[in-house]
A and B are shown apart, each in its own frame.
Chain A
Amino acid sequence: MSRLKIETPDQAQLTVERLYKDLERHIIASPPGLCPVDLQLSFLKVCHAQTCGKCVPCRVGLGQLQKLMEDVLEGRATMKTLDLIESTANNITDSADCAIGFEAAHMVLAGLVGFREDYIHHIKKGKCSVRANHSIPCVALCPAQVDIPGYVALVGAGRYADAVKLIRKDNPFPTACALICEHPCEARCRRSMIDAPVNIRGMKRKAVDEAPANTVPVPEKAASTGKKVAIIGGGPSGLSAAYYLELMGHHAVIFEEKAKLGGMLRYGIPNYRFPRVRLQEDIDAILSTGAEVHLNSRIGNAPGEISFDELRAKYDAIYIAIGAHTDKKIGIEGEDSHGVMSAVEMLRAIGDENPPDFKDKNVVVIGGGNVAMDCTRSAIRLGAKKVVIAYRRRQDDMTALPEEIEGAIAEGAELYGLQSPHHIEADENGNVAALWAEPQIIGPIDAWGRARTIRKKVDLERIPADIIVVAIGQGIEIAPFEEAGIKIKKGTISALASSELANNEGVFAGGDCVTGPATVIRAIAAGKVAAANIDEYLGFQHVITCDVNIPEPIIDDKRPCGRIQIALEETGKRKKTFEPIECGLTDQEACQEAGRCLRCDKFGISALKGGRTTKW
C-alpha cells in the first residue's frame, strides 16, 4: 500500500472539464432576447450542482430558491414569493460558508434588482415581458446591419463582386471594414457553440481582395430629386451618407477641412493597417455616384471659411460628420515641453506624408487604446530606438484589441503597465528628457467590473524619453457649431437616435462627433441612418436594396473545425516599413472558413421571424 499517489483525472472528470469549456462558449454565443428569470434559474441549477452539501443555506436554500423561481415562471407565484426569494437569498449570502453558496445567492439578488420588472410581469401577467427581438446574431451586432451570412455564402461560392455589392447595401466601405473593422459581428457568432466564431472580417477581406471596390460598379441611382444636401466632413460617416443620398437621387456636397478625403481612415489609421491605395478604392467607388467634393473647406466664421448659416440657406438638409480630431491633454507638469506630441498630431503628419523624425529616439507612448497601439507601431516603423507604452492599468485592462497589443509587443514595444504618468522632465533647452511615472498596484473592483489602481508605496519611476506621444483620446471641435446654435452635450454634438438635431430642422449629425471617438463601422452606420432620415425629411421614401441572390446552404455536417486566422508578415520584415502587414486568405482558406458559417439567416428562428433584411 503506497502512502501517496499521483492523481490523474479519470474519463468522467476529463469529459466534464471539456463540457465546462463547451458551456462557456455556449454562453458567449447566447442570443439576445432571452427570459432573464429563466436564465437565472438555469445558472442557479449549475451553482447548486456545485454545492458540497455540508451547509444548510447552500444545500437546501439554493434548491428552495429554484422552486420559488419555477413558481414565478409557471405563473404560480405572488408578490410574497418575491419577498421570500429575496430573504432566502439574503440569508444564503450572509450565512453560507463558501463562495459556491454566497456567490450563487449574490447572482439571485443582482437579478432581483436588475430585472425586477420581469419577475413582476411573470407574477402579474403569467408571461414573460421579454419581447424576443429575433435576429441573426452577427447582423444584429453589426451597427450597420450588414447581411453577413449572405456575403459569407457568396465568398464561399467565389462570387466576390456579388459579395461586395451585398455589403454595399448597408456599408459603402467594404474595403475599410475588410481591413480594420473591429468586427463586433464575431462576438456572438453561433459557430462559437461548436468551436470558434467565423472569421467574418477575413471573409470580407477575401471579397475586396478578389473584387476591389473600385472595380465593382455601384447600383443605378434613383431619378434626381433636385434636392441638395451639405455634408460637413469627408470621413467614413459623411461619405457613407453621401453615397446613399446620391443613390436616392439627392445631390450630396461634401465639405472637407483637410486636403484629402477619408477622415480618421486616412489621418488616424497608419498605412500598414490600412494602405492608402485600398482606402482610395472605397472612396473612388463612393464618388462614382456623383457626390461633389470641396477639399480644404472649413466650416466656421473665420475669414476664408464657409459659415454654417450659409449652408443652411443654400441646402435642403445638412449632415454634420466632423469626427473627433482634436487632442486631449493629460494635464501634467511638463506637457508643453518640446518633443511632447499628441497622437492626432503624429498620425495626421504621417497621413499627410510628412512623418516626424523618430530615428534612434526613445519614444514613450501614453495610453492603452487602439490609437496608442497605432502610435507605438508607427514609432517603431519610423526608426525609434526604443518604444515604451506607459499605461496606468494592466495589459488586460487595455481597450485596444488584443491582436494590436500583441502586434506591438511582437514588433519590439515594451509595455510598462501600472505606470501612471506623474510629470514630464525637460532638459535645460525645454526638450523632453523623461516621463516620471507613479507605479500602481491593482485594487478593488468597481461597480462596472473594472479594477481600480492604487498608488504603490515606492518611489516615482523615471522612464527616459526623447519623444512622448499622448494617446489618451480625442475631442471634437465644437466651437463653430456651438456658435451656430447647435446643442452640445459633454463635448459632443447632441443628436437623436435618428441623427436629427432637436430644434434644428433639417440638420442631422452622426459619427464620432456625436458618439465621441468610436469605431469606423459605427460611423458608417450613422451615415446610413442619417441618409435614410434625411430622405424622409425631404419627403421621400427611397428604398435601398440589392438584387444579388444568396446561395442555398451547403448540406453538410457541422463538425468542429478550427478558425482560419489571417496571417501576418514576418515581424522582422514588417516593423521596418509602413507596408501592409496582413496577408489575405487563399481560395482554399476562404472556402473552408465560409463553410463554417452556420447560416443563421436560414436555420433557426430566422426561418420564421427576423430573417434577412433585404431592403431599408
Chain B
Amino acid sequence: MVTLTIDGQQVTVPEGTTIMQAAASIGIEIPRLCFLKDINEISACKVCVVEIQGKQKLVTSCSTACQEGLVVFTNSPKARAVRRNNVELILSQHDCLCATCVRSGNCSLQKLSNDLGIYDIPYERQIEDVPWNQEFPLIRDSKKCIKCMRCLQICDKVQKLHIWDLENTASRTTIGVTGGVDIADANCSLCGQCITHCPVGALKERNDVPKIYDALADESKVTVVQVAPAVRTAWAEAFNIPAEMATEGRMVAALKKVGFDYVFDTNYAADVTIWEEGTELLERLANRDRNVWPMFTSCCPGWVSFLNMNYKEFVPNLSTTKSPQQIFGALTKTFFAKQKGMEAKDICSISIMPCVSKKREAALMSMRASGKQDVDIVLTTRELIRLLKSEHINPATLPEVPFDNPLGSSTGAAVIFGVTGGVMEAALRTAYKVVMGEEAPMDAFLNVRGHEGRKEAEFKLGDVTLRTCTVSGLGNARKLMEDLKAGRVRYDFVEVMACPGGCVGGGGQPIHDGEELACARGQKLYALDEARALRQSHNNPDVVELYNKFLGKPLGELSEKLLHTDHVKEKNYQ
C-alpha cells in the first residue's frame, strides 16, 4: 500500500493504483479525454495532468502510479492552466460546428470545454478535411477527429481487426484505414465499437433517418418497422425517464406516433430462427459424419462477415439460417404482404437495430428473397433516438401500446437473442423439447450466460452430449478460430456475437463515454424473458400458425427459399 495526499486529503491505495484512480476513490474526478480504462492509457491529450509538489513537470494522472508520500494537486493554478491550454489546442484542430454534430450534448470534448469555461480559442483553426466514402455504413469525419487513438486501440486490442492505423508522420499524424485503402475494402466487420468508444463525433453511422421521412411521405408505401431485442434495453437512455417507464409498450407507442403503419418485433423472427436453426442443428447431429463441425450461429452479420473475410474455409460451418432481421424482412414482404393483399413493392420494410453491420447485411444481394430488398432501411438505436427527438416525441407522456400482430408476438427465448449466450440458450430450450419430449427446466442452461468473452459448456440431450461454446467480441472470435484451426478445441455448436456482451453492447447503441453497459442491458433482457408468459420459441402460437398456414415445416422448400442463405462472400462485403 502507498499513502499520498491529493488536494489536501490523505489516501492510502494499493501499489500500482494510478493517481486518477486514487483521486476517484476520494471523490475527486480528474478531467480526462483520451483515457479509456484498460484500452487507451496513452496519456496523449494531457487533459488529466496534475501537479506534484516540488516538481516542475506535470504528470498525467491516468498513467502515473501513486508513489509513497506524493503531494498531488489536481487543480492547482498550473494544472488548471495547462489542462485548459491543452483543451484549447485540441479545439483549434476540431471542427466546432456543434450545432450540426450527432454527438452534440453527448460529446466529451464539448462537455470538457464547457466545464473548463472555455469560450474562446486563441489559435488559428486548422481543420483536417479528408474525403470519405459516404455510402459506407461507417462514416469517419476527419474534421472532428481529435487523434485520441481510441478507435485504433479498441479495434486492435478488443476486436483485433486492425482496421485503423496511424497515417502520416509528425504534425500530420492522423488516423487512417490500414494500408491506406478505402474503408469498403478494409475487411471491416462494421461492429461499430470504434463509434461507441469515440469521445466526439468523428465516427458515426451513415445517417439513414432522411430515408425514413421519404418513406413516411410516400403514400404508395405501407411502412413496417421491426425492433431488435437489444434496442428496447437502451432506447430510453436518452430520454431521462424512470426505468419503469422505459417499457417495450412505450417504445411501440413512440414508433406509432412517428407514423409507422405497423410496429412489429424482430423477436417474432427470432422465434422463427430457432425453429429453423434448431432443426438444422438436430439434422446435422443426426448425420454427424456428413457435416462439418462445429455449427456456428449466423444471426450476427459482423461475425458472418468476419468469418467470410478471415476464415473463408469455415463459412460452411455457419448455420444457413438468415439472421432474424432478414427472416423478418423476407416474411414481411411475402407472408405478411400476402395476408394483407399487397405485393413486396408496396411495403417499405424498416428495422431498428443496435448494430451498424445490419445496414450492410440488408443491402446484400442474397437478402432479396421477396424479389425486392427484404429490409429497405436499417436504423441504429441512436438514429431511432434522433428520429424520436426530431418528431418532438416525449415518450413519458405516451400510454403503452402492444406490438401489432401477427408479426409482433414473441417468447422469452427470442428476447434473449440480444445478449451473449442468448441464441444458444434459446436454441437449447427448443432442442431439449424436441429430443426429450418435455420442456427443459428453466435453470437448465444457465451455464451459457455470463459476460466473459468465451464460455464453454456441455449438455446432455438424450444420448447426445452437446459441447457448446459462446463467444462475444471479435478478438475472442479470432482466438476461437485459431484454436479450432489448430485442433486445440472441439465443439458442436458455437454462438458468436461480434460485439462484447452481444447486441446489447452493439455498435449502434447509445454512447455513454467511459461506461460499458452491455452487462446491465443484458440483465434487462433476462428480466423480460422471465416476465414473458411463453419462454420457448416452439410455443409461439403465431409462429406455429406461420408454419401451418405458410411455410409448411422448418427446412421445408419455402423455408429454404426465403429464410436460408449460403453466406457467400459478396462484393459489398469488401
Contact = CB atoms under 8 A, between A and B. Distances in A.
A608 B42 contact: yes
B42 A128 contact: no
Contact of A607 (B42, B65, B180): B42
Given A555-B52, A555-B59, A607-B41, A38 B65 contact: no
B100 interface: no
A34 B170 contact: yes
A132 B63 contact: no
A455 interface: no
Query: B41, B42, B59, B168 — which one has the most chain A CB atoms within 10 A of its CB?
Result: B168
Contacts of B153: 608
Contacts of B67: 552, 554-555
B175 to A, nearest CB: 11
A607 B65 CA distance: 14
B43 interface: yes
B53 to A, nearest CB: 11
Contact of A558 (B57, B59, B167, B172): B57
Interface string B37-48: 000011110000
A128 B43 contact: no
Contact of B169 (A35, A555, A557, A608): A35
B299 interface: no
Nearest to A606: B42
B510 interface: no
A125 B169 contact: no
B149 A130 contact: no
A128 B168 contact: yes
B56 interface: yes
A356 interface: no
Contacts of B57: 557-558
A127 B167 contact: yes
B170 A35 contact: yes
Contacts of A558: 57
A607 B172 contact: no
B170 A38 contact: yes
A556 interface: yes
Given A34-B169, A608-B44, A127 B59 contact: no
A552 B65 contact: yes
B340 interface: no
A35 B172 contact: yes
Interface string B126-157: 00000000000000000000000100110000
B151 to A, nearest CB: 12
B180 A125 contact: yes
Nearest to B166: A132
A128 B169 CA distance: 7
B168 A35 contact: yes
B222 interface: no
Nearest to B130: A126
Interface in B315-348: none
Contacts of A554: 67
A385 interface: no
A609 interface: yes
Given A125-B180, A128-B168, A130-B169, A557 B55 contact: yes
Contacts of B501: none
Given A35-B170, A38-B170, A557-B57, A607 B52 contact: no
B500 interface: no
A355 B176 CA distance: 64
Contacts of A607: 41-44, 63
Contacts of A38: 169-172
Interface residues of A, number: 20
A525 interface: no
Contacts of A33: 169
B64 interface: yes
Contacts of A104: none
Given A127-B180, A555-B67, A558-B57, A132 B169 contact: yes
A185 interface: no
Nearest to B40: A608
Given A127-B168, A128-B172, A130-B169, A557 B180 contact: no
A33 to B, nearest CB: 7
Interface string A556-575: 11100000000000000000
Nearest to B19: A555
A393 B131 CA distance: 57
Contacts of B56: 557
A555 B70 contact: yes
Query: A552, A554, A602 — which one has the most chain B CB atoms within 10 A of its CB?
Result: A552
Interface in B455-470: none
Contacts of B55: 555-557
A35 B170 CA distance: 8
Interface string B148-192: 010011000000000000111111100010001000000000000
A112 interface: no
Contacts of A608: 42, 44, 149, 152-153
A132 B152 CA distance: 15
A152 interface: no
Contacts of A132: 166, 169
A73 interface: yes
Contacts of B52: 555
Nearest to A122: B168
A73 B172 contact: yes
A246 to B, nearest CB: 26
Contacts of B152: 608
A125 B153 CA distance: 25
A209 B63 CA distance: 34
Contacts of A130: 169
A54 B407 CA distance: 85
A34 B57 CA distance: 27
Interface of A: 33-35, 38, 73, 125, 127-128, 130, 132, 552, 554-558, 602, 607-609
Interface of B: 41-44, 52, 55-57, 59, 63-65, 67, 70, 149, 152-153, 166-172, 176, 180
21 contacts: A35-B168, A35-B172, A38-B169, A38-B172, A125-B180, A127-B176, A128-B169, A128-B172, A130-B169, A554-B67, A555-B52, A555-B55, A555-B64, A555-B70, A557-B56, A557-B57, A558-B57, A608-B44, A608-B149, A608-B153, A609-B166
Given A552-B65, A556-B55, 17 more contacts: A35-B168, A35-B169, A38-B171, A38-B172, A128-B169, A132-B169, A554-B67, A557-B55, A557-B56, A602-B63, A607-B42, A607-B43, A608-B44, A608-B149, A608-B152, A608-B153, A609-B166
